[in-house]
Structures are given as structure tokens and as C-alpha cells.
Amino acid sequence: MSKTKHVLFVCTGNSCRSIMAEGYFEKRIKEEKLKVEVRSAGTLGIEGMKPSREVIQLFKEEKILPEEYRSTPLTKELVEWADIVLVMEDRHKETILTVVPAAESKIKYLRGFDPETEEKEIPDPIGMSFEAYKETFDVIKKTIEGLIKWAKQ
């Protein structure tokens, strides 16, 4: 029997990008019936914040229940729990390495799971238009499909 994989998504505030990735990935792993546990966290250390209203709207369009999501601070325990830690930007990787230097081999860029781009970062839409959030979510959804392939291995 295969081991359950542990996936941690990390962004800055854990109110949009990593929450979008967590919510959509959870939806997809349920559809694919995969043994994966998913969490997300933010490097700013904010706890209990609801997703942004733009994320709530996007989740409703995807039939994801936004009420379940609250921001979680990045901790050493979360990083150690994860088999893979997926970041959105260089600074997220740098922050994780200050918390858990031994985690370098498990840190990957989420966008690295999109074979159709050389880009590695996913820009933060915070404070921008709904369209910017939608564009970010579309990028995340595309990368999640590559991550599903990884989860099936």
C-alpha cells in the first residue's frame, strides 16, 4: 500500500496564492482519489485570516467551500511534516531555509510543475483587480495538473 504524500503550499500571507493552490489541489486529489494530505501556510505569520473576497468568489465558481480556509503561519513543524514544500517566490524559499535549513531538497517552485513556461514565480495579486486574481488562479490551476502527475507516482 502506498504512503500518503504530504504537500505544503507556501506564500506570503496565506490568503490568496497558497490558499488557491490548497483548495484547488484538494478538489483535484478528491476527483483523482489520491492519497495526499494538503496544507498551506504564509511566511508573514498571520493566523486565522479568511481568504480574500476575490479568492472566495473564485472558490465559489469552482465549487470549493471557502469557509474551510484560514491563514496559518509557517512553522518548522509544517515544513518537517511535508514531503514537498511548494513556494510561489524566491523570498518564500529563503524564509523557509532560515526556519529549516535542512529542507532545501524538498522545496520546489509550484510553477515548476507547468512544463509550458520557463517562469518560476507566481506573482502576488493582493490589492489588484479581480481579473488579476483570476489570472493568478488560472496559472495555479495549470500547475496543479502537473502536480497531480507527481502525486500519482
For the stretch 71-116, pLDDT in tens is: 999 999 999 999 999 999 999 999 999 999 999 999 999 999 999 9
- Provide, rounded to the nearest whole percent, the portion of the chain with pLDDT above 70: 99
Alpha-carbon span 128 to 134, nearest angstrom? 10
For residue 1, name the pLDDT band (cuts at 50, 70, 90): very low
C-alpha cell at 146: 502537473
Q: Where are the domains of the chain?
A: 5-148
The CATH label, of 3.30.390.30, 3.40.50.2300, 3.40.50.720, 3.40.50.920, for the domain at 5-148 is 3.40.50.2300
pLDDT the model gives residue 2? 63
- Total length of the chain: 153
Enzyme catalytic residues: 11, 17, 124
pLDDT the model gives residue 81? 97
